[in-house]
Structure 1
């Protein structure tokens, strides 16, 4: 309903006897709107409506830009439109929130751009006294890059409960406990002091467990808590209302600052974030307090405990992300599995990991800092990244087995050379080969074994089967010599292939088999 139609409807309802309050209720407008319309005569109202059609509005020069934003992102809020305008035209544009809100609303109606929304409910919590409390939480977003790729960004946010004064810090990788501690130091510098209480969710970088109210902190954060003399409180599970202020801040950061913003690099992203805090996050009038956080903060910071000195943190294994070791001696990181040396699962429950700038994953012993493994991080997901050194060392058992077999020969060194070549020829069946030779060493004397070994090397026969055949041949030769008592060298038959080969007899078929074959040939 346009303004002239509303004016005429108000006049008609009043003539029917409705009160001004009832007219406002029926039309869904405020009583102030009804009173404002009634101050004008029909001619004055007509002139005013006509003037609205031709009057130039303050945001008209930016109309096409705002329209493009709304068409590309239908769920864009008027508050975010205002922030984007201030970011681009801060020096030349002075405009109020209500002006932007009304202008965006009119554009939506005129160009039929419906607003998509997904509201979230929060419970009201009484404000804490000045300087008493800061609430802390984590969040993440997925942003488009300048080359239209997608990157996941993580942030930590802080808000002073009384003034709603905010601080945030971003990383393009997962936070470590060291990062969290450093972010606290930066936040305390931003706030110019430390509040009386810090409220957290049950995050694994800070809290190991909440044992009936007794907090068990991670080792490094416990040390930091004692160093800074911090008073911590952790929210109970499934109780977001107790930190509703920071929940709102996380949503504000996601949907006002980050949404549809293009990511270039983490340094410029953080710079833009701090500018946004000064321009919008801490300067915009808060919907609940109806005050600007920056103005209230000027009073609240006087109630904060001063920050004494700076704390330096070493970039060591104790401040890394931790991961559980699975029974197959792997850990999981960014949807991939990474191998560890065999036996690590039985020695340790957890390991520390750290990602380097060169996309390498370093895995440490959480207690000693010993480097257990190093892997290159791949681009894909669902992969097993395995170091060959982490496979079972199958050579140790074979080496011991070779020692056992070689020591059964008089010429041990010669036996080692022979067995090593056997290993090269039959790498997959070396154990079977060694078992066959070991069996021969147990059944024959050293003299016969030495002769067989020498004959195999001489004739280049590297096989346990050949070794057994040579022993059998030598035994037969000795039996012939013992029978004839003739030490003269036996003359080999002319048709024999070699004197050392065991005599074999070809398989003989029955004549009937050949007859059957011939008959089948004639039939075909």
Structure 2
């Protein structure tokens, strides 16, 4: 059955001067399903459009009765994106399950057609959708910006591939690097430097999302980079431009790059290990850069070679090079430092009597351990004979006194014990504190006094501010002699005449008899 809209369109084409054959051709070009030429000729030959063309064949709609009509309109108006099957189920629950009706007047398809009819006549009020509008970002000059984003995809056999996409914004040249675990700051910096080395130069600005590998915190536009990423930016003399959250206008083309990698590379391939991904990815990236980009209708590789390559800044050496580093060996003896051009540079204390490696890039000296793992970085000093030491390489203060204090606490703890320990800690240098407390512990262990005596001695030391071993010993001997003198005088006292109980019993009996 031809729709009224089609009849109106045939009449409009006729009034515009189209012949019958031209009208048929236009309708076929506009639609995939058109009436036969006989039907088109019928309505083309009419002088005007009939008022109601379907009045004789129109069937009454099953759901166009109360209470179904108003209920359907209300349900669909309140839930614009609901499924038709869900509406049908609600009608079953409200009218059939409750016993009000034996069955609904139609099936799901009948309900679907009726809802379309209600929308056409305007009985269902469509709520205006809140859609965001944004403009197309201007393409930056060549060599200005590169965008970076991360993606991940679960493959067969439990393999999850994590990859980073880097896109030169002007030419849309794409670089993709993958691994079997999430990228950290160091691995991300290595991937960026690897892409820069492949392109033969550096861009001025990196456009990044607020990923934790790059940005540790963002407060009202104030960006705090991670330590590793900040050192990379300073080393390569690059700036950053951080995208706003949930803002497609600021993300640009990189979001499409992640989707493109997932759909074009991963969707038709099956990978069981990360090695298969690493073998196939470089060749696919070259092929992708050789195809026409659907956003610019140009070949990224050709645009890069013709325009952008010459605009990139020259490469700088980096500690984040993916290739094996060329390191120089240097010995570390009993003192925690290595020698470079007559200047001593500190290393951690646990690297004494070991072999270290170093590499100089610009005015930075980067030190590695014997397994080529990064240790620290110094500023190169031009003054020969000087010594450069980092704060974290200073010897830690002696802590052996803590063990001594805890042993004493378990055996001689008292009210003034902590006061006594704090006084020793304040009055004795750190390098002698352990020796002083150890001597006090030995004295107490040798004499083995009572806890009451030790408490008296410590209380006297705290009262008179005596926090040296010799002072503690003098106080201890003084109190020890006093206690010993009292004990001796008691031993030399006159013996008391001791009488038995029978004597007292005899006296008691005599008193009672009298």
| TM-score bracket for this pair, using the shorter chain length | 0.3 to 0.5
Larger radius of gyration: 2
| TM-score (normalizing by structure 1) | 0.39
| TM-score (normalizing by structure 2) | 0.40
